[in-house]
């Protein structure tokens, strides 16, 4: 009888290698396989799918125990995943899990999120990938619901195939565990962040701006969206793909005519 190889599971995040959300994730996922963490050495929130091109990237092994090895990377979440796959891991990982992010990545936040950048990079490389987030931005976010459900969601990904080119964006509400109504598969809510830059003046009279903002939901009543699910005590699971083509747009644009102006 051939002993089945334990799965190799790559973990990353965007809050950095020391974030509580990442260490909670390690505890949740380590029963399922051998864990290698490659995560940014510092917070990289809002880094989206950014890669580091004009600087080199450095890696440091932080710790190694029986089935958990942890590296930090000087780059972005996507750099971390690329380096893991190409330089640090003995083979292509069987799964990638990113998070647990401190703060929501529902609706349009998915495109700003470094946590989801890492998951999408895994997906692009053919690795079944999940990004987990809780709707609490604080360092001391409550991960009770994630602890209760993330393992089961991961097991689903292990046992069932994700559709090709698809990864999961999973957001947990912040409510008492016994109020959770279940897991709801939904679509990305249409919405936008409306910014209000806060202007300040430094001691040398130079002005600078801090980014702040509020999320505007364009469809608060649509019950098939992730924002609705979260507001109604569900865990929201959105399957995400990386084909940005607007197929409706293709039909419309075919009627346009173009001329060479030289």
* Chain residues 26-65 in contact with a copy of itself, contact rule CB under 8 A: 43, 45-54, 56-59
What b/e sequence results for 23-58 when a residue is b if at least 16 CB atoms lie within 10 Å of its CB, and e otherwise?
A: bbbeebbbebbbbbbbbbbebbbebbbeeeeeeeee
Pick from 106, 82, 242, 95: nearest CA to 166: 242
Here's the x/- map for a copy of itself, 115-134, by CB under 8 A: it reads as --x--x---xx---------
The residue (of 8 and 111) whose beta carbon lies closer to a copy of itself is 111
Should residue 258 be labelled a site residue for a copy of itself when binding is judged by CB under 8 A? yes
Minimum distance of a copy of itself from residue 3's CB (angstroms): 26
CB of 151 to a copy of itself, least distance (A): 5
CB of 232 to a copy of itself, least distance (A): 16
DSSP structure string for 114-164: HHHHHHHHHHHTT--EEEEEES--STT---HHHHHHHHHHHHHHHHSPPPT
**Which member of 195, 220, 223, 232 binds a copy of itself (CB under 8 A)?**
195
Q: Pick between residue 59 and residue 135 the one whose CB is nearest to a copy of itself.
A: 59
| Distance in Å, CB of 16 to a copy of itself, minimum | 11
Helix (H, G, I), strand (E, B) or coil at 15: coil
CB of 249 to a copy of itself, least distance (A): 3
As measured in angstroms, the least distance from the Cβ of 260 to a copy of itself is: 5
Contact with a copy of itself (CB under 8 A) among 8, 23, 26, 144? 144
By CB under 8 A, is residue 72 in contact with a copy of itself? no
Binding to a copy of itself in span 202-231, by CB under 8 A: 206-211
Helix (H) or strand (E) holding 59: strand 59-64
Dump the DSSP string for 173-229: --S-GGG--EEEE-BPPPEEEEE-PEEEE-TTS-EEEE--EEEEES-TT-TTBHHHH
Q: Which of 2, 4, 90, 160 binds a copy of itself (CB under 8 A)?
A: 160
CA distances from 201 to 143, 196, 197 (A): 38, 16, 13
Q: Which of residues 79-108 bind a copy of itself (CB under 8 A)?
A: 79, 82-83, 85-87, 108
For residues 100 and 146, is the Cβ–Cβ distance under 8 A?
A: yes
- Per CB under 8 A, contacts with a copy of itself among 229-248 are 235, 237-248
- Angle of helix 144-159 relative to helix 20-29, nearest 10 degrees, comes to 50
- Give least dist CB 45 to a copy of itself, A: 5
């Amino acid at each position: 009888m051939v002993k089945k190889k334990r799965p190799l599971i790559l973990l990353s995040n965007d809050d950095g290698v020391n974030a509580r959300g990442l260490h909670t994730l390690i505890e949740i996922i380590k029963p399922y396989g051998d864990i290698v963490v490659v995560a940014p050495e510092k917070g990289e929130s809002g880094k989206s799918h950014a890669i580091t091109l004009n600087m080199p990237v450095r890696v440091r092994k932080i710790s190694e125990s029986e089935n958990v090895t942890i590296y930090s990377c000087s780059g972005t979440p996507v750099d971390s995943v690329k380096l893991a796959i190409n330089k640090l891991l003995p083979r292509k990982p069987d799964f990638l899990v990113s998070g647990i992010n401190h703060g929501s990545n529902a609706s349009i936040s998915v495109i700003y999120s470094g946590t989801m950048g890492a998951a999408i990079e895994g997906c692009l490389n053919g690795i079944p990938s999940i990004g987990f987030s809780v709707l609490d931005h604080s360092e001391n976010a409550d991960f009770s619901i994630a602890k209760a459900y993330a393992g089961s969601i991961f097991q689903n990904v292990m046992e069932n195939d994700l559709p090709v080119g698809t990864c999961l964006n999973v957001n947990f509400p912040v409510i008492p565990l016994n109020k959770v109504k279940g897991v709801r598969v939904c679509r990305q809510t249409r919405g936008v962040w409306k910014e209000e830059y806060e202007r300040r003046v430094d001691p040398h009279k130079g002005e600078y701006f801090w980014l702040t903002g509020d999320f505007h939901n364009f469809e608060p009543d649509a019950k098939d969206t992730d924002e609705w699910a979260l507001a109604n005590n569900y865990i929201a699971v959105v399957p995400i793909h990386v084909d940005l083509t607007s197929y409706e747009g293709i039909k419309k644009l075919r009627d346009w005519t173009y001329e060479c102006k030289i």
